[in-house]
Amino acid sequence: MPVFDSRDDLDAFGVPTPIVHGTAEETVRVGASGDRTAKLVRGAAYERAPHGLLATRAQRLTDDLKAFLRS
C-alpha cells in the first residue's frame, strides 16, 4: 500500500492551516502521523479522541474551527 506522508511539507505552508488529530485514533495511528504534527502545531491533538472528530468531538471541533477562522 502506498504511503502518503506530508509532514516534511509543514514548514513550507505559507498560510495558517488547521490540523487536528485524535490521540485515540485507530484508523491512522497518532504515532504514524500525529506525534510530529502535534509538536509542530499547537492544539493539533485532541486527547483521547478517536477517528471521526466531527461525530465524537463536534462542539470542540466546531469551536476550534470558528476560532481559527476568526484569527
CB 34 within 8 A of CB 62: no
22-47, pLDDT tens digit by residue? 777 777 666 666 666 666 666 667 77
Report the Cα 14 to chain-centroid distance in Å. Answer: 18
Among the ranges given (13-22, 35-44, 47-56), the one the predictor scored with the smallest mean pLDDT: 35-44
CB proximity list for 41: less than 8 A, separation 6 or greater: 10, 17, 19
Q: What is the pLDDT of residue 30?
A: 62
Distance between CA 43 and CA 60 in Å, rounded?
A: 11
User: Stretch 15-21: mean pLDDT, rounded?
Assistant: 76
Q: Cell 509542530 appears where?
A: 40
Supply the mean pLDDT for the chain: 77
Report the predicted TM-score, pTM, of the whole model to 2 decimal places.
0.60
